[in-house]
Amino acid sequence: MSVDKETVAKIANLARIEVSDNELENTMGELNNILDWVEQLSEVNTDGIEAMTSVVAADLPLREDKITDGGYREEVIKNAPLAEHGFFAVPKVIE
Amino acid sequence: MRDLTKLTLSAARDALHKKDISAAELTEAHLRAIDDASELNAYIEVTADKAMDMAVGADKMINAGNAHGMTGIPIGIKDLYCTKGVHSQSSSHILDGFKPEYESTVTSNLWADGAVMLGKTNQDEFAMGSSNENSHYGPVKNPWRADKKNGDLSDKNTVPGGSSGGSAAAVAADTSIAATGTDTGGSIRQPASFTGLVGLKPTYGRCSRWGMIAFASSLDQAGPLTKTVRDAAIMMESMAGYDPKDSTSTNIPVPNYEAALTGDIRGLKVGIPREYRVDGMPNGIETLWSQGIDWLKDAGAEIIDISLPHTKYALPTYYIVAPAECSSNLARYDGVKYGLRVNGDSLDDMYKKTRAAGFGDEVKRRILIGTYVLSAGYYDAYYLKAQRVRTLIANDFKLAYEKCDVILTPTAPSAAFNLGEKVSDPLSMYLNDVFTVPASLAGLPGISVPAGLNSQGLPLGLQLIGQAFGEEQLLAVADVLECAAGFKAKPKKWWGDKS
Amino acid sequence: MSKLYPGATGNWEAVIGLEVHAQVISESKLFSGSATAFGAEPNTQVSFVCSAQPGMLPVINQECVRQAVRTGLAMGCQINLRSVFDRKNYFYADLPQGYQISQFKDPIVGEGIVNIELEDGSNKDIGVERLHLEQDAGKSMHDQHPTMTYVDLNRSGVALMEIVSKPEMSTPEEAAEYFKKIRSLVRYAGTCDGNMDQGSMRADVNVSVRRPGEELGTRTETKNVNSIRYVMQVVESEIRRQIDVIEDGGRINQETRLFEVATGTTRTMRSKEEAHDYRYFPDPDLLPLEFSQQFVDDLAKDMPELSDAKKKRFISDLHITPYNAGVLVAEKESADYFEALLSATVEKSEKPTSELGSLVSNWVTGDLFGALNKLGIGITSSPVSISHAAELLSLQIDGTISGRIAKEVFENMLESGKSPEIIVEEKGLKQVSDTGEIEAMIDEILANNVDKVEEYRGGKSKLFGFFVGQVMQKTQGKANPQVVNQLLKPKLDD
């Protein structure tokens, strides 16, 4: 399987990375090189093989339902590029 | 006055405990060495004042009789670890100015034991790379340079490996006694091999990932880069431990790793996987591997031929799984909560411009690959397939460990290559991890031990792969291997003050 | 046979499915220890984990797991002993991780059935497809600043249960009744407060139309509908709109729509609608969630009584009319109030429960609800406490006051907040049961109305009421009607 320019543009949009039209060609080539190379996995017979979900054989630890965190707004928004009145601020969204 | 920067961690510890030296003078010596070696670009941020404060605190601990193995030991911390109030950007532009309000569990463990932070070390951006050339802060230079035919040192720089290249260079150049690294597909072991150091990646789940800036969650593990196996054992004991804040960390006690270094491996079964003999592997590496086998045999180990049949599929599996996870892990870098923001005329435009400007080429490449392999219609063919092959790879190891106790392989298919040599060819860069990735995919511990120099005088490492949570055995064998190899070489100093 | 909607070109039928998002009742969030309480200052209930700071990791809240299982049990669903958390990847300002942790392929709860009752008295089973746990997003505020959207992450990471129905509803009423039923179930199970004003419960409404018996049509999804009435309006207007579009030769786009309260209709979302590709994959920061059947059984044992069972019990054990029982169980608070009042009244009057159910239910659904309606308040803010109400009913039961006086006392209680015993005492409303006193009164009345007595004895038995009225008038209603009857009858019939 290989990707065309349109697909690359679609992926870039899904990933929210601006790729200019003249970068598309180059990016497409790089991605196809990698995709061609990983294609060799199709040789492997994986019939009836479970997909790996976790390399550690352990139970998911469960937390007690207690308030143990939060309550430090200043620390939370301290690194924000733009914060106003205790909110994070982003360009206006129209729904 | 003796040069305190030449001390190993264990020697420094012994001297500190005996009060032959103070943590303050040990730290000062390393801060001076950092200044002197600034052209290596191993450190992104030097925290000199903090280091001196911590050293004073360490001396107090020692004087109060509360000294641990790491007390007063000055170390470098890979930028990927979140350190409170200190530069923590995983060497990325997109985290510009980010100073976390929290401290990673692993570094907290180290500070609790009295270790001293010298600064944050350079790395490949978000730990993606095998040469440390993918850093927003520029490449790191390996302290090791090749010998020319006439015996003079080449003036060409080599790479320190990656992604923990800054940590590796910092220790190799004696600007820190040890350093933390992280290993996703070989990011501790391969740089250790390229710089003549010991690099240990523990079992997945042994160290907490909390506060480590994620690359690929199912693979990332913290570990030490040190001058000796004993040093690695001491530092590992401090870093490791269960953390209720990391759901994938494992709740089993941390043993005394140093006590495992008995020097006795008689009767131990060492597996040699035939699939690791790859085409085009340099002679020097082949020879060194054979030597390693002989050393362990001489020490009383039994050598067993084993097969890990899915080895050749490990790299392509890794290059689907890791990008898939990274494409999701790196979605949070969107210009809203921290780091870089490039304004746009809408929210989406702001996202796209911020992420285009903030991520480097290799990171973008992997995000795009990861996005593609998870996208509708391709998930089964790529991601699901890869996770199935990953099961097969893990099964290979399980079967092998029915026959042997540890596995011996080369760490990397080459010695350090020249800066700039592979930047334009991502695939050839990926091939660097061919021997380290399989253990990563299976979550197994691996250690690289410096075992010799190649014909150009560059260091080469051998890798030992252990069983899950078999770090004690792994370190014991590594200790014997190190002893037999007797690797004592140091890079010839070409940087800073050459007197 | 589902309802048909006539169009210009023939009949249509509608296919409706609901995705109900119910906020789990828990102290802290699904994967972080921050508080979940409603109404806090922006970003004050936010941790480094729920603001997706670099290197932060999720740890699951066990109570949220229990709540999801309880809800599944309440809907009679299959509980999956192994489930997996996946990441749903998309970008939005109030989604700090850039993905929502949800469950995609392997949800914690599987199929079940919910029974709804319709206005005509008929019942219908609606299939539940699944219930899964997921994180809520934060809140975007678009109207606080001319060029900015403000983001508050207090809700970010709060546990939600998404309950997905099968597309088995075909009318607005069914959709509304189903939504109501789910709300009732989670409230009885104690897993969600059902408070739609605060966003604790909302529904995504999927609607499509087709010719009867034909293939499913293209559906639209109207997001975040937060009242039962709105659900009906969305379904009604979507059915109408879709029929009109198709009959005009148009096509229905599979799209996300917004409900406009002002017009009671839906509209396309203005934000660019792109093909969603959520790239679900198992969250590598979490392991699969596994628990034992014992864990489920223990939760099942401790399940509170749900509305259907309660209604049945009210009818069979307490002899309450099906109508009253239905009214009482409709809201958990009403049923709780009723049961508390019943047991307080039993205690006070020392009468058996089975004798009092009817009286108490009549009083709650009649007098009390009438008064609360007038005051425009709910039962939880009732000005009449359980103990006062029990006192009032006991006064009536033991004959201290008549039913009519009880109403008067109740009016007074609402105004003054005083206890009924005090009101009765102060106002001298105690029923006169002294037979001597009443007998004297009756004799006097009979003597003053000889003509009427004659008429009565002549066969005009209706006049009995007149004599009772006279006694009541004389006693200002305080005469015990039973005593009056007992004494009057033999005297008239003499």
**Using an 8 Å Cβ cutoff, are B434 and B315 in contact?**
yes
Q: Using an 8 Å Cβ cutoff, are B407 and B398 in contact?
A: no
Closest residue in chain A to residue B376, using alpha carbons only: A11
- In whole angstroms, what is the distance from residue A24 CA to residue C134 CA? 36
pLDDT at B166 over 60: yes
Q: Residue C130 half-sphere exposure, CB side, CA atoms within 13 Å?
A: 12
**Average predicted confidence (pLDDT) for chain B:** 97
CATH number of A5-42: 1.10.20
Q: Give me the residue from B244, B336, B368 closest to A90, CB to CB.
A: B336
Interface of C with B (CB under 8 A): 48, 51-60, 87, 89, 91-93, 96-99, 149, 151, 272, 277, 279-281, 284-287
- Which of these ranges, B177-181, B335-339, C465-469, has the smallest mean pLDDT? C465-469
- Say how far apart CA B103 and CA B240 lie, in whole Å: 15
Contacts of B177 by beta carbon, 8 Å cutoff, 6+ apart = B5, B7, B8, B9, B12, B26, B30, B73, B74, B75, B171, B226, B227, B231
Containing B121, the helix (H) or strand (E) segment is strand B116-121
Domain count, chain C: 3
> For the residues of B246-274, what is the DSSP string, one character each?
-TTS---PPP-TGGG--S--TT-EEEEEG
Tell me how long chain C is. 494
Which CATH number covers residue B75?
Answer: 3.90.1300.10
Instruction: Give Cβ neighbours of residue B95 (< 8 Å, ≥ 6 apart).
Output: B88, B89, B213, B333, B338, B339, B340, B358, C54
| Contact criterion met (CB below 8 Å) for C60 and A62 | yes
Last residue of a domain, one of C389, C406, C427: C427
Total residue count of chain B as it appears in this document:
499
Task: Give the integer Cα–Cα distance in Å for B182 and B32.
Answer: 26
3-class secondary structure, B199: strand
Residues of B in contact with A70 (CB under 8 A): none
> In this structure, are C90 and C118 located in the same domain?
yes
Strand ranges in C136-290 using DSSP code E only, listed in sequence order: 139-141, 148-152, 159-165, 201-210, 220-225, 256-260, 265-268, 281-282, 289-290
d(CA B260, CA B80): 30
Confidence band, pLDDT 50/70/90 cuts, at residue B1: low
Of C45, C60, C287, the CB nearest to A58: C287
Amino acid identity of B484? A
DSSP code for B125: G
The average pLDDT across B38-60 equals: 98
What integer pLDDT is reported at residue A93 of this predicted model?
84
Owner of token pair 């006049």: C463
Active-site choice (B163, B164, B193, B440): B163
Q: How far is CA C68 from the centre of its chain?
A: 19
Kindly list the residues from chain C whose CB atom is less than 8 angstroms away from the CB atom of residue A70.
Answer: 32-35, 44-47, 50
CB distance C142–A73 less than 8 Å? no
In order of A9, A17, A91, B351, C353, the CA distances from B344 in angstroms are 19, 13, 8, 8, 70
Q: What separation, in Å, do the N-terminal and C-terminal C-alpha atoms of chain A show?
A: 37
Q: Is the ipTM of this complex over 0.95?
A: yes
Flag if B387 and A53 touch (Cβ within 8 Å).
Answer: yes
Q: Is residue B277 part of a domain?
A: no
Same domain, C356 and C410: yes
Distance of CA C36 to the CA centre of its chain: 22
* Cα-based angle B75, B79, B84 (whole degrees, multiple of 5): 85
Residue B163, domain extent: 4-262
Decide if B98 is inside a domain: yes
Residue of B334, B355, B388 to mutate, interface with C, max C Cβ within 10 Å: B334
Do residues C362 and C394 share a domain?
yes
Domain ranges of chain A: 5-42
Candidates B48, B187, B51; CA nearest to B124 is B187
CB atoms within 10 A of CB B441: 30
**Between β-strands B302-306 and B221-226, what pairing exists: parallel, antiparallel or unpaired?**
unpaired
Give CA–CA dist C265/C263, Å, rounded. Answer: 5
Alpha-carbon distance of B211 to B462, in angstroms, equals 30
Neighbours of C166 (CB within 10 A): 15
Residue A62, chain B, CB below 8 Å: the answer is no
The Cα diameter of chain A in Å comes to 58
| Three-class secondary structure of residue C202 per DSSP | strand
Q: Is B327 on the interface with C (CB under 8 A)?
A: yes
Q: Distance (Å, rounded) from C-alpha C69 to C-alpha B435?
A: 45
Strands B116-121 and B74-78: parallel
In a domain, B325, yes or no: no
Cβ distance C93 to A88 less than 8 Å, yes or no, reads yes
Contact yes or no for C360/C375 (Cβ under 8 A)? no
Write the DSSP assignment of C127-169 as a string of letters: EEEEEEEEE---EEESSSSSSEEEEE-TTTT-EEEEEEE-S-B
Q: Do C59 and A61 touch (CB under 8 A)?
A: yes
The pair of structure tokens assigned to C429 is 């409303």
- Give the neighbours of chain B: at least 3 Cβ pairs within 8 Å: A, C
Residue B96: exposed, middle, or buried by beta-carbon count in 10 A (0-12, 13-18, 19+)?
middle
CB contact under 8 A, A41 and B355: no
Domain count, chain B: 1
Verify whether the Cβ–Cβ distance C285 to B371 is below 8 Å: no
**Catalytically annotated residue among B135, B187, B238, B414:** B187
**Hey, is the C-beta of A93 within 8 angstroms of any chain B C-beta?**
yes
Q: Choose, from B78, B120, B141, B422, the residue flagged as catalytic.
A: B78
User: Token pair of B253, please?
Assistant: 């006690």
β-pairing verdict for B269-273 and B406-410:
parallel
From the list B371, B375, B102, B336, the residue with the least C-alpha distance to C57 is B102
- Residues in chain C within 8 Å Cβ distance of A56: 287
Given a contact cutoff of 8 angstroms between Cβ atoms, the answer to whether C169 and C18 are in contact is: yes
Place of tokens 């903090």: B50
Domain that includes residue C418, residue range? 307-427
> What is the rounded average pLDDT of the residues B271-292?
93
In C, residues 191-250, which contact A (CB 8 Å cutoff)? none
CB pairs under 8 A between A and C: 144
Q: What is the mean pLDDT of residues B477-482?
A: 98
Asked if residue B59 lies in contact with residue B73, where contact means CB atoms within 8 angstroms, the answer is: no
Q: Quote the CA–CA distance of B323 and C231 in Å, as a whole number.
A: 42
Residue C278 — φ and ψ, nearest 5°? -80, -10
CA B86 to chain centre: 21
Q: Looking at beta carbons, which residues of chain A come within 8 Å of B248? A: 54, 56, 58
What 3-state class would DSSP assign to C398?
coil
Amino acid A1: pLDDT: 66
Interface of B with C in 4-63 (CB under 8 A): none
Q: Does C60 touch chain A (CB under 8 A)?
A: yes
Cβ of A51 under 8 Å from any chain B Cβ? Answer: yes
Catalytic, B163? Answer yes
Q: Place B72 in a pLDDT band, splitting at 50, 70 and 90.
A: very high
Tell whether B57 is covered by a domain: yes
Nearest to B176 by CA among B110, B256, B130, B88: B110
Could you give the CA distance from residue B328 to residue A15 in angstroms, rounded to a whole number? 9
Verify whether the Cβ–Cβ distance B371 to A93 is below 8 Å.
no
Per CB-CB distance under 8 Å, the chain A contacts of B325 are: none
Q: Which of B374, B391, B441 to mutate to test the interface with C (most CBs of C within 10 A)?
A: B374
The region that residue B292 occupies, defined by phi over 0 for left and psi between -120 and 50 for alpha, beta otherwise, is: alpha
Domain boundary among C427, C455, C476: C427
Q: Mind telling me how many Å the CA of C277 is from chain B's nearest CA?
A: 6
Enter the DSSP assignment of B382. I
Answer yes or no: is B234 within a domain.
yes
Could you give the C-alpha distances from C333 to B315, C25, C187, C371, in angstroms and in order?
Answer: 61, 16, 9, 16
Least confident of B201-210, B381-390, B438-447, B490-499: B490-499
Q: Last residue of a domain, which of C394, C411, C427?
A: C427
Contact B316 A41 (CB under 8 A): yes
Cα C33 from Cα C31, distance rounded (Å): 7
pLDDT in tens, chain C (494 residues): 578 999 899 999 999 999 999 999 999 999 999 999 999 999 999 999 999 999 999 999 999 999 999 999 999 999 999 999 999 999 999 999 999 999 999 999 999 999 999 989 899 999 999 999 999 999 999 999 999 999 999 999 999 999 999 999 999 999 999 999 999 999 999 999 999 999 999 999 999 999 998 999 999 999 999 999 999 999 999 999 999 999 999 999 988 999 999 999 999 886 545 567 999 999 999 999 999 999 999 999 999 999 999 999 999 999 999 999 999 998 899 999 999 999 999 999 888 888 899 999 999 999 999 999 999 998 988 889 999 999 999 988 887 887 888 898 999 999 888 889 888 888 777 777 777 788 888 888 888 888 888 888 888 888 888 888 888 888 777 777 778 888 888 888 76
C248 and C106, same structural domain? yes
Chains that touch A (3 or more CB pairs under 8 A): B, C
First-to-final CA distance of chain B? 15
Are C286 and C101 in contact, with CB atoms under 8 Å apart?
Answer: yes
Would you call B214 an interface residue with chain C, using a CB distance cutoff of 8 Å?
yes
